[in-house]
Amino acid sequence: MNFTVIIPARLASTRLPNKPLADLGGKPMVVRVAERAALSGATQIMVATDHADIAAACRQHGVPVCMTRADHPSGTDRIAEVAASMGLAPDAVVVNVQGDEPLIDPELIAATAAAIADGAPMATAAHPIVHRADLFNPNVVKVVLDKAGRALYFSRAAIPWHRDGFAAMAGGLASDGQMTALPASYQPLRHIGLYAYRNAFLQAYPALAPSPLEQIEALEQLRVLWHGYPIAVHLTSIAPEAGVDTVDDLLRVQKIFQSR
């Protein structure tokens, strides 16, 4: 199917300043992200930024870039502006690939775009959680699906809670009171922060009022469910490579590019 990838990139970052311009094997991170996205089969790639330095870096490496307003509250609002400026059709599919995902799997991008074909105006992705630490980590977002593979809810909490499974586990609690394993029949899902949208919905999104659940969980995608829009979820068995949020993440990814 045809789809467009838009990569929002901001220079300001609390934990890692100038992150989009960080060097990865001789190229800025945002350029590396665009290179991965280009392998997905996207019809076109566009970086969306409000900073001239990021725009200059993209142009230097032949990556299409569009300047945006600086006052967007989220990356979704930023890509909506760019999609509108590109004149995309209402039914065009737009994939939001974060500018700090230089190792993102191109096939995952394409699969998430394809998931939107079932009629949902938005799609995302998820994979099985296999480690207890991830289940109870509030920084790991969980998602529960309905029988059609659409999201019922996203949460930082351990959902769905396997009441009988955990209760029946012998030795399931360590001395610190934490769970040490997962029930064999239990398959929670980790949400992957990759989104695809129909352009008509993307243009309508900025006008949706923030929801109470979104504010409680600090999860923007809950706004979509709150207003009654379905989100299709592509399931993959493979956990994606981690993005770059901290200095340690950057050092890890730099080593990968240095070894190539």
Give the per-residue pLDDT at 180.
Answer: 65
Whether the Cβ atoms of residue 56 and residue 37 lie closer than 8 Å to each other: no
Radius of gyration of the chain (CA): 19
Give the per-residue pLDDT at 230.
Answer: 96
Whether the Cβ atoms of residue 210 and residue 218 lie closer than 8 Å to each other: no
Give the per-residue pLDDT at 175.
Answer: 45
Render pLDDT for 147-164 as a digit per residue (tens, 0 to 9): 999 999 999 999 999 888
Give the per-residue pLDDT at 74.
Answer: 84
Q: Is pLDDT above 60 for 8?
A: yes
List helix spans (H) across 43-103: 52-60, 75-85
Q: Is pLDDT above 60 for 173?
A: no
Beta strands in the chain (DSSP E): 4-9, 23-24, 27-28, 44-49, 65-67, 93-96, 122-128, 142-145, 151-155, 189-198, 231-235
Instruction: Decide: residue 182, CB within 10 A, 0-12 exposed, 13-18 middle, 19+ buried.
Output: buried
Q: What are the phi and psi torsion angles at 46 (to 5°)?
A: -145, 130
Q: How far apart are CA 36 and CA 42, in angstroms?
A: 10
3-state secondary structure at position 93: strand
Q: How far apart are CA 152 and CA 189, in angstroms?
A: 12
Whether the Cβ atoms of residue 190 and residue 128 lie closer than 8 Å to each other: yes
Whether the Cβ atoms of residue 181 and residue 132 lie closer than 8 Å to each other: yes
Which amino acid is residue 109, in one-letter code? I
Mean pLDDT across 195-200: 97
Could you tell me what percent of the chain has a pLDDT over 70? 95
Give the per-residue pLDDT at 183.
Answer: 82
Tokens, residue 91: 């039914």
Give the per-residue pLDDT at 181.
Answer: 76
